[in-house]
A and B are shown apart, each in its own frame.
Chain A
């Protein structure tokens, strides 16, 4: 059943420069393609979920059906793709055997090797210092590292499935509280069929001692990936969380529709970083992941802070707007983004900062880079509600164009309903100038080196928001992605 097509490039860079395009040969347990209530019941049953979860999924599914009937597939984004046949998608694929793992030793060595190849060490002795990992393979989480050490601090970090079993009250309280299932088309779909994801709870006053990391991997050919992440930072706590993503190189498009919900209570801070490197499709634009993601955080408490940092280099189409609802007084929302589109990649990404509490502040720094035939759109909303006195926002969204076949778009929305608000928005679009390249050439650098240097300079404000080891990774990833795309 699970016989992956042979991919010639097991290692190294292919023509498209995508390094993570290999397929892991594992046997998978798969629910056949298609979507109906039975499939949802089956997913819920396989995960041994309590009744409330099944009900919630079914409500979401029924809402999704009404959206399908009303043809409410979102069309407003500046991206172009053929209609998706939701009946052809596999909604559940899990590597066999599906037994509860007690330790890393029980994990299929093939899977461990997969993550090793991706540069993610699941073996704790080889770990990156201070990084705990949850590895999600197709529809399920296969292992979470550092659980015991985290437990000593009262930090819960586990797969979503485990959280449903072990912490149903927390799940029930927070699931859908920031992104309700009726929020949008793909959120409804995700709520109905999501199979796994990560769950974090940081108790009061705890500063999480590790960087928490989830690594998402799509392997199975026809599967979509629908994961859900929920992070709750209780009063006065702090957590830094990072997710990474990759997928094999295939000719068909695969759908990734995730939902991420963050809740920050009084004086709590969540730092959420993403390095997204899904398979972007080949040089002709064939294949690649559709990355349709809803990410939102709620600064519920006073003085709380949520900071999103994303480096989006992969996926055929990216459609995501990590947002912050600034509810608590004095709360802070931040969004730092680098989005690179090359080949035939399309990205429509940005953020929403909704100022609701008093003295709330938000910062948006977005850097879009378009090369090849890439299309890059920044779409952002800053809204200041009438009771949000003294709200402050600073937005800067810059675009860099490389070559004359690509495009860059900027569509910011600014809605101000309070006169005490101070908002500033700046945006510039430019290209790497010939004079800059010549100046670098004159100092001995090749054009490719010069481009990498200038582009890294362009992205610097965003990269420095990343935890150090990931900043290095992000820089390397940009260089890798730009090879052959410039010069």
Chain B
């Protein structure tokens, strides 16, 4: 408890009101889980950027910690209308949709299909009573409270959230859309979005997680997602972050990939003043495969930090990891990838790369692609590259009559396309591509 400082106090104080009020009806195991988590948060506090704390070397969460963010008052009800969802939505109206406004589940905005055999999609609070065995088995197992102060804090306030469960040998017919929307109507508010995605043996699911805002206000999103990919299952998990430019966004995504299972993920970060994503994937069974792709476009004074840890705990597993960044203004990006190959995990094939395109003199890209290898029969490669737009290519386009700004957009879009093309869901691919085109000129405005 020595670590406890004023920074943690508002959250500790809010806990009792939350546990005893809004969420008091949750099952006992959840209540106990939350109590344990708040104590852990109190003890751990926010991570510090002090010397020796490698995981937070390049990202200082001090500015976030100093603001006493508050849980929004749930009694104020829904503040968002169906029409306002458009900017954060795409794809077919048939797709199941779970919508959360400022962290609270919105039944009227959501679109849940009539219950189908094998697939359960619902609010987590509902799943706690409807599918308690699944929730109890998996919630907090991969994203442990012990991970850091943020995961503990999320666990302490876990209630509403996305729950996607696909039974053995079933495939979810449509992609599932999870929309976390910030209304901007509660200044300095905090939300703790949570998602639990479980694909049982041989099952298949595609899940898109969206974080967006309606207004450019200041708030703090502290999200945790757990993805269980059991043997033979396939999960595609795509995440798009378009938070307000003043938002703080912390996300932890943990996945476990079983034998013969596939986890395919892509993350696109465009918003937030500070975004930090902790993606951790454990390759737990032989012949499992993971593809982790990321794209970040930042400008102005934005800061985006991707920590990606792939733990090859089983032999004959493979992973491909490609992150690309586009930086303008005084923005800063951090990438620290770690590939761990455990002692008996022979025949692992892993690669990681981070490539950055710096569009301005003031932007900074810090990259740390690391290996931790304890087995000898492995093939691991990594790469990193930083550079600017190719002047010759720009000139060539200009010589063909294309103005410089368009030429620039064209080349930046081409740089991003390598990631965009890896998204195995056409409507999302088009959406991201459109967003990229839209955001490129905006990035420039931050340039000095």
Residues of A within 8 A of B (CB): 75-76, 386, 399, 401-404, 406-431
Which residues on the B side are within 8 Å of A386 (C-beta)? 361-362
A426/B383 contact (C-beta < 8 A), A404-B343, A414-B368, A419-B358 known: yes
Chain A residues with CB under 8 Å of B379's CB are: 428-430
Task: Determine whether B433 belongs to the interface, using a CB cutoff of 8 Å to chain A.
Answer: no
Q: Shortest distance in angstroms between A57's beta carbon and chain B's nearest beta carbon?
A: 26
B384 at the interface (CB under 8 A from A): yes
Known A-B contacts A401-B376, A407-B374, A409-B370; the reply to A416 vs B356 at CB < 8 A is yes
A413/B346 in contact, CB under 8 A: no
A-B contact sample (8 more), CB < 8 A, given A401-B376, A409-B370, A411-B370: A386-B362, A401-B378, A404-B346, A408-B371, A414-B368, A419-B360, A425-B384, A427-B381
Q: Tell me whether A427 and B373 are in contact in the complex, defined as CB-CB below 8 angstroms, given that A412-B368, A419-B361, A419-B388 are known contacts.
A: no
CB-defined contacts of A419 to chain B, threshold 8 Å: 358-361, 363, 388
Chain B residues with CB below 8 A from A402, complex form: 376
Q: Is the CB of A429 within 8 A of B371?
A: yes
Which residues of B (322-367) have their CB < 8 Å from a CB of A?
343-344, 346, 356, 358-367
Q: CB < 8 Å: which of A410, A415, A421 contacts B358?
A: A421
A409 B376 Cβ-Cβ under 8 A = no
Residues of chain B lying within 8 A (CB to CB) of residue A416: 356, 358, 364-367, 386
- Give, as a whole number of angstroms, the nearest-CB distance from B447 to chain A: 10
Query: Which of B371, B373, B375, B382 has most chain A Cβ within 10 Å?
Result: B371
- List chain B residues, Cβ under 8 A from A428: 379-381
Question: Once bound together, how far apart are the Cα atoms of A413 and B354, in whole Å?
Answer: 12
Give the 7 A-B residue pairs with the shortest CB-CB distance, closest first: A419-B358, A401-B376, A425-B384, A414-B367, A410-B371, A411-B370, A429-B380
CB within 8 Å of A: which B410-433 residues: none
Does B385 make an interface contact (CB < 8 A)? yes
Q: Could you tell me if B385 and A424 are in contact, using CB atoms closer than 8 angstroms?
A: yes
Cβ-neighbour of A75 out of B52, B370, B371, B386 (below 8 A): B52
B376 in contact with A403 (CB, 8 Å): yes
A413 x B366 contact (CB < 8 A): yes
Neighbouring A residues of B376 by C-beta, 8 Å: 401-404, 406, 431
CB-CB under 8 A from A407, the residues of chain B are: 372-374
> Whose C-beta in chain A lies nearest to the C-beta of B367?
A414
30 contacts between A and B (CB under 8 A): A401-B373, A401-B377, A401-B378, A407-B374, A408-B371, A409-B372, A412-B367, A412-B368, A413-B366, A414-B367, A414-B368, A415-B364, A416-B356, A416-B366, A417-B362, A418-B358, A419-B361, A421-B358, A421-B386, A421-B387, A425-B384, A426-B382, A427-B369, A427-B380, A428-B380, A429-B378, A430-B378, A430-B380, A431-B376, A431-B377
Which residues in B have their C-beta under 8 angstroms from that of A427? 369, 371, 380-383
A8 to B385 alpha-carbon distance, docked (Å)? 53
Q: Which residues of A contact B358 (CB under 8 A)?
A: 416, 418-419, 421
B384 x A423 contact (CB < 8 A): yes
Among the listed A411, A424, A431, which residue makes an inter-chain contact with B383, where contact means beta carbons less than 8 Å apart?
A424
Residues of A within 8 A of B343 (CB): 404
Give Cα A401 to B374, complex, Å.
9
Which residues of B are found within 8 Å of A424, using beta-carbon distances? 383-385
Rounded to whole Å, the gap between the CB of A133 and the closest CB of chain B is 39
A401 vs B382: C-alpha distance when bound (angstroms): 16
Shortest distance from the beta carbon of B351 to any chain A beta carbon, whole Å: 9
CA distance A430 to B377 in the complex (A): 7
Q: Which residues of A contact B386 (CB under 8 A)?
A: 414, 416, 421-423
When the two chains form their complex, are residues A412 and B370 in contact, meaning their CB atoms are under 8 A apart? Answer: yes
CB-based contact A410/B382 at 8 Å: yes
Report A-chain residues with C-beta under 8 Å of the C-beta of B364: 415-417
Per the bound structure, the CA–CA distance linking A426 and B354 in Å amounts to 11
B368 touches A431 (CB 8 A): no
A414:B384 contact, CB within 8 angstroms: yes
Of all chain B residues, the one with the shortest Cβ separation from A421 is B386
Shortest distance from the beta carbon of B336 to any chain A beta carbon, whole Å: 9
Nearest CB on A from B361, distance (A): 6
Q: State the Cβ distance, B434 to closest chain A Cβ, in Å.
A: 26
Which chain B positions have C-beta within 8 A of A76? Answer: 52, 54
When distances are taken between beta carbons in the complex, the residues of chain A under 8 Å from B365 are: 414-416
Most buried by A among B364, B373, B383: B373
| Cβ distance A46 to chain B, nearest Cβ, rounded Å | 37
CA distance A401 to B377 in the complex (A): 8
Select one of B359, B371, B384 contacting A409, CB under 8 A.
Answer: B371
Contacts of B388 in A (CB 8 A): 419-422
Contacts of B378 in A (CB 8 A): 401, 429-431
Name the residue of chain A whose CB is nearest to the CB of B58: A415
Least distance between B338 CB and chain A CB atoms (Å) = 9
Q: Whose C-beta in chain A lies nearest to the C-beta of B389?
A: A419
Chain B residues with CB under 8 Å of A401's CB are 373, 375-378
A406 to B372, CA, bound (A): 11
Chain B nearest CB, measured from A364 CB (Å): 12
Q: In whole angstroms, how far apart are the Cα atoms of A428 and B383 in the complex?
A: 9
Q: Which residues of A contact B362 (CB under 8 A)?
A: 386, 417
